């Protein structure tokens, strides 16, 4: 699922609920800005990347980003 960032800001609760079932990609001016997903999904993705050496882009992406957990 993909949506403009402004729509997410105006309906945060609704889309956080959707992100528990599937990753939600947020866009700004039709460019991908962020993908939100359930924490377990992200942890499995990290584990898979680590177990398979990950791609260079994946390793660099994880190094650049600061992960912040939001607990509901």
**pLDDT tens, N- to C-terminus, the chain (72 residues):** 777 888 888 888 888 898 999 998 888 888 888 889 998 888 888 888 878 876 545 555 555 554 444 433
Q: Which two tokens stand for residue 65?
A: 């980003």
Three-class SS of residue 25? strand
Q: Which two tokens stand for residue 56?
A: 């260079």
| ∠ CA 70-57-45, rounded to 5° | 45
Would you state the pLDDT for residue 20? 92
Q: Which two tokens stand for residue 4?
A: 């403009």
């Amino acid at each position: 699922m993909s949506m403009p960032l402004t729509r997410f800001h105006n309906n945060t609760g609704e889309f956080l609920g959707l992100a528990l079932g599937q990753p939600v990609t947020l866009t700004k001016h039709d460019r991908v800005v962020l993908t939100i997903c359930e924490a377990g999904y992200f942890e499995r993705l990290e584990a898979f990347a680590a177990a398979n050496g990950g791609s260079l882009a994946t390793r660099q992406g994880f190094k650049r980003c600061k992960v912040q957990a939001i607990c509901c």
